[in-house]
């Protein structure tokens, strides 16, 4: 699409709308001197009064020989069609060909163009398939612009009708000015953000590994005797690392808000907040710190997070270990029910031993006076269970669907012999 063409009026209107609605950071980049400029269509009027919208997508960095070759190609196509021949000359989008991606500057520019919607860089197979389809259309359809019997408002409209420009005409910013900003966005999102997310995942991986190690050491010291474990609270040993690494997970909400990750921030906030509230509830309630269900939390959360953060960390590097992928989408079958049961057990202990029950205002409230303290504690616990428990089958079903999608739905049927 790196040429000057006649574009449809609709593309001009959309480009103006996209410029007005562009995110603020694009305006900041323009002020910083990156050369980012508005994609303004230039209007040209023909002798018969028709108005044509010309879009300039020429990239000077490609050199004069490139644009001269395009001019010769287009002139030749127009002349050949004028002589009564079918001419298929469609505009192809920016494509990740080997010759392009071997150039580091172009590779980075192409990698950052997705941040300037609706620009899109296509894989070679996709572009080839679409262009082949357009070629068939031009050869077979008598109404196509390629057919010399089809009347065109201007000979240059030959390249307009079925243009596959990849968003170059409708982008709010001029195509030739996007390159530097696209490179900066590539460095920021694909290099710096990726490095940061990798370090974050590794920190959480080692942190939760430490939490799981402490829990395992306590179990080993008690010879894995359930009676001894029930009488020995792990809270004193794990409280500090557990609070730190669980509270650190609030950064994942920030990651979502900044679009560093694809998850919706509200979903992440609910997941993180449910755990943080439970951990802080145990901190506030010394009686709950001796609850044996804490061991279930440590193992369920610890193993889950070790696998999850190592999986995402390697994924950021473009690596995938089949065993780790299987663990990521299989361990929940055991760990999720264990975690839910342990959380519910801890919630009951926290609710029943909250210091607020001895508060004069709480004790004199209509709710506590009507039910009594014991029944009020039971009511709060049951209410929490009613809010919490219904999400279990929904989330478990979602994870089962994800497991089927990633790992497959079982053994494939055998091919039948004929």
Catalytic sites, residue numbers: 336, 343
> Is residue 7 a contact partner of residue 160, using CB atoms and an 8 Å limit?
yes
**CA distances, 418 to each of 262, 413, 415 (Å):** 47, 15, 9
Question: Tokens at residue 19, please?
Answer: 């410029």
> Considering Cα of 324, then 329, then 330, then 334, what sign does the dihedral take?
positive
Cis before 118? omega within 30: yes
Best CA proximity match to 357, nearest among 336, 381, 337: 381
The tokens 């979502």 sit on which residue?
A: 256
For 64, the 3-state DSSP assignment is: helix
HEC secondary structure over 123-149: EHHHHHHHHHHHHHHHHHCCCCCCCCC
- What are the two backbone dihedrals, phi and then psi, of residue 250, each rounded to the nearest 5 degrees? -60, -20
Q: Which helix (H) or strand (E) holds 287?
A: none
Distance from C-alpha of 193 to C-alpha of 250, rounded to nearest angstrom: 17
Distance from C-alpha of 52 to C-alpha of 9, rounded to nearest angstrom: 8
Q: State the Rg of the chain over Cα.
A: 31
Pairing of strands 95-96, 122-123: parallel
DSSP states of 338-359: HHHHHHHHHHHHHHHT-GGGGS
Crossing angle for the helix pair 193-221 and 235-248, to the nearest 10 degrees: 160
Q: What is the number of other CB atoms lying within 10 angstroms of the CB of residue 395?
A: 14
The DSSP symbol for 214 reads: H
C-alpha angle 186-190-194 in degrees, rounded to nearest 5: 155
């Amino acid at each position: 699409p790196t040429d000057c063409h006649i574009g449809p009026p609709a593309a001009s209107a959309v480009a103006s709308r996209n410029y007005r609605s562009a995110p603020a950071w694009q305006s900041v980049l323009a002020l910083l001197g990156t050369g980012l400029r508005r994609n303004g269509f230039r209007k040209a009027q023909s002798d018969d009064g028709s108005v044509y919208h010309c879009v300039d997508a020429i990239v000077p960095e490609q050199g004069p020989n490139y644009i001269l070759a395009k001019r010769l190609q287009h002139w030749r196509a127009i002349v050949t069609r004028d002589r009564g021949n079918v001419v298929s000359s469609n505009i192809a989008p920016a494509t990740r060909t080997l010759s392009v991606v071997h150039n580091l500057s172009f590779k980075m520019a192409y990698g950052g163009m997705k941040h300037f919607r609706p620009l899109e860089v296509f894989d070679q197979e996709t572009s080839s398939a679409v262009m082949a389809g357009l070629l068939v259309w031009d050869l077979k359809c008598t109404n196509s612009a390629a057919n010399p019997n089809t009347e065109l408002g201007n000979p240059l409209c030959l390249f307009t009708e079925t243009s596959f420009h990849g968003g170059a005409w409708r982008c709010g910013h001029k195509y030739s000015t996007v390159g530097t900003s696209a490179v900066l966005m590539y460095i920021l999102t694909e290099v710096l953000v990726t490095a940061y997310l990798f370090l974050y995942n590794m920190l959480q991986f080692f942190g939760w590994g430490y939490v799981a190690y402490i829990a395992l050491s306590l179990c080993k010291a008690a010879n894995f005797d359930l009676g001894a474990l029930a009488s020995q609270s792990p809270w004193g040993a794990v409280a500090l690392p557990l609070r730190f690494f669980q509270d650190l997970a609030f950064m994942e909400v920030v990651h979502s808000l900044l679009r560093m990750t694809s998850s919706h921030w509200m979903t992440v906030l609910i997941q993180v907040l449910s755990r943080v509230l439970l951990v802080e509830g145990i901190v506030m309630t010394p009686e709950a710190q001796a609850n044996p269900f804490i061991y279930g939390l440590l193992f369920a959360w610890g193993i889950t997070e070790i696998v999850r953060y190592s999986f995402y960390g390697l994924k950021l590097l473009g690596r995938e270990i089949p065993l780790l992928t299987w663990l990521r989408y299989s361990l929940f079958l055991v760990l999720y029910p264990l975690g839910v049961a342990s959380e519910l057990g801890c919630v009951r202990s926290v609710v029943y031993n909250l210091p607020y029950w001895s508060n004069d205002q709480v004790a004199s409230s209509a709710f506590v006076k009507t039910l009594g303290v014991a029944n009020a504690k039971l009511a709060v616990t049951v209410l929490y269970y009613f809010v919490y428990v219904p999400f279990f089958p929904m989330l478990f079903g979602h994870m089962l669907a994800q497991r089927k999608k990633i790992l497959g739905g079982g053994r494939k049927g055998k091919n039948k012999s004929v």
